[in-house]
Amino acid sequence: MGFATRQSVILEFAPTFISVIMAGKVGSYITSSIGTMRVTEQIDALEVMGINTYNYLIFPKIVALLFYPFVITIAMFLGVFGGYVACVYGGFSSSEEFIEGIQMDFIPFHVTYSFVKTFLFALLLATIPSYHGYFLKGGALDVGKASTTSFVWTSVAIIVVNYIITQILLT
């Protein structure tokens, strides 16, 4: 039980599933906030002032999401801890068995692989929604459409990059 929990959480559940959830939460927020600025001419106002809008609007989001691995670290801890609670209090295994399973055949490179993925997902989470917001055309209705589109494309990109990075690092 412990082994299965550790492997599934570290390899996929924490980095990939949380990133897909974040594409819905953070990605939609980024698209709609930048998109609203576009339709209400706030981005034009910044450009007229002579401010580099990419630097001002998108770059800080990329920098902020570079701290994303910290979130994934917390997700890994909580995922394994949740598995422990479910197994032990659900009566599926004893505490000792679960801890023994966690420690069994541990390959430290799996954690490295997971954080490499997380960095790449962070870049996708910052850039794809920003693109959809920044180059939005239309009105309020299109902000909603762009948020949905950005979620779809970010999720697809995360899954594709996940496959590629797994092929490169784990085969």
Question: What does the binding site for another protein look like in residue numbers (CB under 8 A)?
Answer: 36, 40-42, 44-45, 47-51, 56
Query: Closest separation between CB of residue 33 and another protein, Å?
Result: 9
Contact 39, 143 (CB under 8 A): yes
Instruction: Give 19 or 53: the residue with its C-beta nearer to another protein.
Output: 53
Instruction: Give 42 or 149: the residue with its C-beta nearer to another protein.
Output: 42
Helix, strand, coil proportions of the chain in percent (round to 5)?
85, 0, 15
Write out the two tokens for 107.
């390959």
Query: Closest separation between CB of residue 36 and another protein, Å?
Result: 8
Query: Closest separation between CB of residue 65 and another protein, Å?
Result: 20
* Rg of the Cα atoms in the chain: 20
Query: Closest separation between CB of residue 24 and another protein, Å?
Result: 22
Residue with tokens 């001419």: 41
Instruction: Give 5 or 147: the residue with its C-beta nearer to another protein.
Output: 147
Type of residue found at 152: V
Residue with tokens 């197994």: 87
Instruction: Give 44 or 96: the residue with its C-beta nearer to another protein.
Output: 44
